[in-house]
Structure 1
Amino acid sequence: MPEPSRSKELPVGLLTDPAMINACRARDFGRVFQLLKARAGIYPSMIARRCDLTPSRVGEVIAGRRQLLHMDVVERISDGLRIPGHMLGLARRSWETPNTLAATPPVAPQEPGGFKTQLAAGLPGADVDSILALASERDLSRSTLNALHSSIADYWRRDDEHGGETLRPAVVGQLRYVVDLLKEQRPAPMRDGLHGIAAELARLTGWTYFDARQYNQARAYFTEALGLARAIDDHQFMANVLACMSLQATYQDKPGDALALVTAAQDQARAATGTTPRVLSMLAMREAFAHASLGNRSAAHTAISEAHTFFGRISSGDPEPAWVSYFDEPKLIADTGIAHGRLGEVALAEPLIADALRRENEANHRGRAFHAFWLARTQLQRGKLDEACRTATDALAPAAAVGSQRVAGHLREFYDQLEPFRREPAAMAFESRLREALPFRISGSPHP
């Protein structure tokens, strides 16, 4: 018999048809098999093969000359034909939970700098090769720094589109190369430029680990980024790194740490010369997340208001750091909705997240999936089961396109929220699409 996880899904319309529901409830397999043939094109020979039965036995059941009563046979029929367990009076079958959502042990922490044996295989082709060849002469120029900055911008773009797992060896290799360059005596402008690039590479590495929910490694690289930025007194970038660490603390359910870290980030931003309104707006929104996680409604609302006030002061002439360009108006609106959602204010959250999702860049697969699952959870909390399942179904394609354990975690949370509605047609349709879309396209699964 083929493994149940690879069997073709039955049409949702058949599984939710009252005739099929009643036949399954009564374990009237003669009627069940007739419906399978008429509605799903599954003929007796196919039923026999999938359920490890003889064709003659299946024929006798259809003709009403034999009943199937043994529990092991009923279980084989459920698994072989992909009939959900509850329809036949069975416990939930293992195949009903997609492989993507099955918990796996967390990866053991790995400290920064332990990747040297992977670097040769990890460097990704001509772009990085040309950069390293340019830098290998040790006679660095402004064009060298520009090339390194360009590679970082490309890494971030690919991280948004595909996730950072496959990029990480190349990013770490480039980070270690730049840190090695810093060991040599250089003019102050070149040394400061290399420190800034190394800080960006360390933050990007930390972000890829954070997105993979490997929090120890992420914290170690964020700390390295903080030290590199401190060496050149880049207070704005220090604020950026501390804001990343604050967001990670909210995911680790450490809201007190999240608030302390974002407060430190705001202190660094105030110490910097020329901190832009966009940076201040982003930091205020991270503060709102921390307050919302703590349940501080009034403080969260104040921080949300400050984020929008700062954003309204943005001018096209502001000399923005490249690392904050992602924080555009759709991102502000989405984060506002998420902050309200964290406070349980789902009536405020839903239209905001929906509006941001409509305006979001379609190439940002992770952002679109992330926000769509937030929207689906919010809709479900408002009792909009059909809308929530449609939203979550639409999110499966971008979720499958990007390797992100954070996205998988939000999918898991929505999936768990569906538990009371498992027998509803909309939920059954979503589960069917989920099993088809993700098990063999996203590797790994969220871990606690």
Structure 2
Amino acid sequence: MPETRRAKELPVSLLTEPEMIDACRVRDFARVFRLVKTRAGIYPSMIARQCELTPSRVGEVIAGQRQLLHMEVIERIADGLRIPGHMLGLARRTWETPAVLAERERPEFDHLPVEPKPLSALPGVEVDSILALAAGTNPSPSTLHALRSSIEDYWRRDDEHGGETLRPAVVGQLRYVEGLLKDQRPTPIEHGLYGIAAELARLTGWMYFDARQYHQARAYFSEALQLAREIDDHPFMANVLACMSLQATYQDKPADALALVSAAQDQARAAIGTTPRVRAMLAMREAFAHATLGDRTATHTAISEAHGQYGRIKADDPDPAWVTYFDEPKLIVDTGIAHGRLGEAAIAEPLIADALEREDPANQRGRAFHAFWLARTQLQRGKLDQACHTAIEALVPAAAVSSERVTGHLREFYEQLAPYREVPAAVAFEARLRAMFPPQGQRTPSSIRT
């Protein structure tokens, strides 16, 4: 029985070497095989095995005694040695696109209305009862503090690794807290529990959004709105609506995005003591919506408003915990992204580059997002080598975090790189991409052919 083997990748330096490029272009396989042997350490017997040829035939080719002209054989060589199809005048090979970039089929239910569920109708009563029994005591201020600390930890781990593995724990804690709300509590405890439940629901919605499961995300965002409404927490309702606005930009629904962020700003205006940092964040989300609509003037106005509000921030402002992430690097990078959405790459590039240098190294998802945005703006400006270098660096945090949104940004850059597939910088990026995201299934030779 033949073994399932993964072809050994050729070094990027070899694939981009002028002599190798020329040998492939004229299909001089004697030179190709010699270069593969000396530069990649793949000897004739290995070449024969990977390309489904006999060792004697490979030896004859290297000695100049035989030429390889049949298209089927040339395709086997491309697949066996992982030589990109364009280098040999072939169509793009199936293995050239990593499985991670394949679009996943997702059921689309976004046309269905999503109504907030009444708390009494939420699922998980049996689990709630068990957890309440295990707790054994009534929630106290220290209980609320512990729950808020766990939420902070969830957010940190979500930034570092993605939320897919965390989501069951977050949902379980959400249902547990909602179970505690079914009993009469002192007002401060009850309000605290509602606030914690609202944040857990928003976090769950965010995790579904990051997984591009938009229908589920909207359901949990709606649940978060309902919970926050119970305690008239207008700033938090504004935060949830801002999350929903961002999701609408990803769904290419800019009119919805603008309507949602406008509702968010209404909630912020209805609140007493909404801080400048919250207003700055909302103004930047408005800029995203206008930019997605292609409204240059409105985008620039919203950006100016965001920077103006940010300039009013004071050290002793009572900022809610959920907005502290919106610091100066975040303001700068979002400004760059808003300009990038408008196609203003010359303005966007230095802003995103500056913010990326100051990004928290632990925020893997943020670093991946912003690095791919930088690569795209560099590509728009004709800086192909620089764009590919930036994208290669972005692969490190992208591989460390489980995020469909990160994959989407990677896919967009990959597709924009299509016209440059034969350029050495693009070849180097694709080789690194395949090395870090190998295909899920490997080719199995059915037989050794002569």
Give the TM-score taking structure 1 as reference length: 0.92
1:58-207 aligned at under 5 Å gives the runs 58-106=58-106, 136-207=135-206
Aligned CA distance change for structure 1 residues 136 and 236 (closer, same or farther; 3 Å): same
CA distance in 2, matches of 1:293, 1:389: 25
Distance 1:118 1:254 in 2: 39
Q: Secondary structure at the match of 2:394?
A: helix
Match of 2:18 in 1: 18
- Alignment-derived partner of residue 338 in structure 1: 337
Q: In structure 2, the residue corresponding to 1:66 is in which secondary structure?
A: coil
Partner of 1:380 in structure 2?
379
- Match of 2:447? none
* Matched-pair contact (CA < 8 Å) for 1:109–1:214: no
Tell me how far 1:107 sits from its aligned partner.
5.8
Please, which moves more after superposition, 210-219 or 25-34?
Answer: 25-34
Q: Distance in 2 between matches of 1:27 and 1:135?
A: 72
The equivalent residue for 1:358 is: 357
Residues in 2 aligned to 1:25 and 1:337: alpha-carbon distance in whole angstroms: 41
Q: CA deviation at 1:139?
A: 1.4
Worse overlay, 83-92 or 61-70: 61-70
**Counterpart in the other structure of 2:49:** 49
Q: Shift of residue 119 of structure 1?
A: 7.7
One-letter amino acid of the counterpart of residue 261, structure 1: L
Q: CA deviation at 1:146?
A: 0.5
Any idea what the Cα deviations from partners look like across 1:412-435, whole Å, max 9, x if unmatched? 000001001100010000000011
Task: Give 1:54's aligned amino acid.
Answer: T
The Cα of 1:22 is off from its aligned counterpart by 2.3
Q: How does 1:399-438 map to 2 (within 5 A)?
A: 399-438=398-437
Task: State the superposition RMSD in angstroms.
Answer: 2.2
- Residue identity matched to 2:34: Q
Alpha-carbon distance in structure 2 between the residues aligned to 1:99 and 1:308: 41
Contact 1:396 1:438 in 2 (8 A): no
What is the CA distance between 1:7 and its match in structure 2?
2.1
Per-residue deviation at 1:25? 2.1
Structure-2 separation of matches of 1:18 and 1:376:
25
Partners of 1:17 and 1:323 in 2: CA distance: 51
Q: What secondary structure sits across from 2:182 in the alignment?
A: coil
1:199-228 CA distance string (max 9 Å, x none): 000000000000000000000000000000
Match of 1:328 in 2: 327
Kept in 2: contact 1:115–1:169 (CA 8 A)? no
Aligned residue number for residue 398 of structure 1: 397
Structure 1 counterpart of 2:38: 38
Deviates more, 1:283-292 or 1:28-37: 28-37
Q: Is the 8 A contact 1:195 1:229 kept in 2?
A: yes
Give distance in 1, aligned partners of 2:47 and 2:122: 53
Report how far residue 104 of structure 1 moved. 2.1
Structure 2 residue ranges without an equivalent (≥5): 441-450
Q: Specify the alignment match of 2:27 in structure 1.
A: 27
Q: Distance in 1 between matches of 2:79 and 2:127?
A: 45
Deviation track 1:260-309 (CA, whole Å, cap 9, x = no partner) reads 10000000001111100000000000000001111111111011001001
Q: Which residue does the alignment assign to 1:124? A: none
> How far is 1:117 from its partner?
11
Partner Cα distance (2:285, 2:133) in 1: 39
Alpha carbons of structure 1 residues 114 and 179: separation in structure 2 relative to 1, 3 Å: closer
Pairwise CA distance, 1:190: 1.2
Name the amino acid aligned to 2:135. Answer: S
4+ residue segments displaced more than 4 Å: 1-4, 107-120, 132-135
Paired position in structure 2 for 1:126: none
CA distance in 2, matches of 1:228, 1:18: 63
Partner of residue 286, structure 2: 287
Percent identity over the alignment? 75
Aligned in 2, Cα 1:197/1:117: closer, same or farther, shift over 3 Å? Answer: closer
The 3 A distance-change label for structure 1 pair 432 and 119 is: farther
RCO greater where, 1 or 2, for CA within 8 Å and sep 6 or more?
2
The answer for the alignment partner of 1:125 in structure 2 is none
Q: Confirm whether residue 270 of structure 1 aligns to residue 269 of structure 2.
A: yes
* Structure 1, unpaired ranges of 5+: 121-128, 442-448
User: CA offsets, 1:363-406, max 9 Å, x none?
Assistant: 00000000000000000000000110111111111000100111
Q: What TM-score do the two structures reach when normalised by structure 2?
A: 0.91
Q: What amino acid sits opposite 1:34 in the alignment?
A: R
Query: For residues 138 and 127 of structure 2, what CA distance do their matches in structure 1 show?
Result: 23
